[in-house]
Amino acid sequence: MSRKLLFAAPMLLLFAAGCSPTSSDVTRPIVGNTVIPVQTPVSTTTPVSPPVTQPATTTTAVTTTTSTAQVGAFTFVDQTIKEDGKTLAFDITYPQMSGAADAAMQKQFNQIVYEKNIRDQVAQMRTDNANAVKEGMMTSAAWSLDLGGGVTYQSPRLINVFLDGSQDTGGAHPNAYYENVLFDPSLKKEILVSDLFTDASSSLQLLATWTRAELKKNTDMLEVTDPDWMAGGTDPTQSNYQFSHLTADGLVVLFPPYQVAAYVAGPQEITIPWEKVNPLLKAEYQKK
């Protein structure tokens, strides 16, 4: 199940996996005021035009179709949301299914990707940003959410959408932001990463073992973490592996900043090849 991940948010409490503050939110566009010219008395000298007052900048969130791609049996259309305001900016691209034979399945997929993971977050940012403006808590820079990605893997029984980007709400640095959607077209519902496996408990334990071994090879990262931090971030739980997504190369395990090391280390990605991960998957989700 895909959830927003924002690390560090001074003015906003969103889902965070581990740590320090930064921020994230947004304002509704400001509509300019109408300027009514004031009449001046008749004079024998050359009349002077009253100063022209410029209205406040008006910004509008625009959703447009940018491209269409055939992926396996389904067609996906990229949708974009762009807004550039004084206190809030969006640059978001996300996929929507189009032309599927099963209209109910298509509707469910599109609602999960957009309504659950995009629309609600945009609305929340608007509310939080408006409150920040009202309370005089805004910095000089606008808050922003940049997010992009698409379908990373598809089979008759599984569609994986992975989006990544950043959210800036005026903190010390932008926050990493991810959305991961695993959707079963036959069941017409979203599933968890743990639902992919025949035995979720033992499979997550194997992921923990494999990823810890790979992380220990990263000498730069080891300088900004400690054994307890890394162990906690790789424990075999659904939440620790919620951003794992399938690609042509296998299962990409993604640990966001702060999960296994300090922010300066950045996100950590480990790809587990299909030959290792495929035997762990339920038959319907295996790569044929």
What share of the chain has pLDDT > 70, as a percent? 75
Strand order in the sheet with 74-84: 62-71, 74-84, 88-98, 143-155, 158-168, 175-184, 189-191
The rounded distance, in Å, linking the Cα atoms of 285 and 282 is 5
Instruction: Kindly indicate the confidence band of residue 67, based on its pLDDT and cuts at 50, 70 and 90.
Output: low
pLDDT at 53: 37
248-276 pLDDT, tens digit each: 999 999 999 999 999 999 999 999 999 99
Whole-number pLDDT of residue 170? 87
Instruction: Quote the radius of gyration of the chain (alpha carbons, Å).
Output: 24
On the question of pLDDT at 30 being above 50, the answer is: no
**Residue showing tokens 């620790």:** 240
Predicted pLDDT of residue 150: 96
pLDDT at 262: 97
What is the average pLDDT value for the chain, to the nearest integer? 82
C-beta of residue 230 within 8 angstroms of C-beta of residue 215 = yes
User: In one letter, which amino acid is 228?
Assistant: D
Give the contacts of 273 (CB within 8 A, at least 6 positions apart): 249, 250
> How confident is the model over 156-199, as pLDDT tens digits?
999 999 999 999 998 888 999 999 999 999 999 999 999 999 99
Relative to beta strand 245-247, strand 250-255 is antiparallel
Instruction: State the pLDDT confidence band at 228, using cuts at 50, 70 and 90.
Output: very high
Reported pTM:
0.77
Tens of pLDDT, residues 133-144:
999 988 778 999
Q: Name, in order, each residue with C-beta under 8 angstroms of 168's C-beta and a sequence gap of 6 or more.
A: 22, 23, 24, 141, 143, 144, 145, 174, 175
Q: 8's torsion region: left (phi>0), alpha (psi -120 to 50) or beta? A: left
Q: DSSP for 225-241?
A: --HHHHHHHHSS-TGGG
> Is the confidence at residue 105, as pLDDT, over 50?
yes
CATH homologous superfamily of 1-27+59-191 equals Fervidobacterium nodosum Rt17-B1 like (3.30.565.40)
- Whole-number Å distance between alpha carbons of 211 and 278: 16
In the predicted model, what is the mean pLDDT of residues 88-113?
97
Assigned architecture for domain 194-288: Alpha-Beta Complex (3.90)
Exposure pattern of 155-190 as b/e (b: 16+ CB <10 Å)? beebbbbbbbbbbbbbbebbbbbbbbbbbbbeeeeb
Predicted confidence at residue 27, as pLDDT, reads: 34
Domain boundaries, the chain: 1-27+59-191, 194-288
With a cut of 80, say whether residue 84 has pLDDT above it.
yes
Tell me the Ramachandran region of residue 239: left when phi exceeds 0, alpha when psi lies from -120 to 50, beta otherwise. Answer: alpha
Q: Which pLDDT tens digit goes with each residue over 36-47? A: 333 333 344 444
The helix/strand/coil state of 158 is strand
90-113 core/surface letters (b: 16 or more CB in 10 A; e: else):
bebbbbbbeebeeeebbebbbebb
Structure confidence at residue 65 as a pLDDT band (50, 70, 90): low
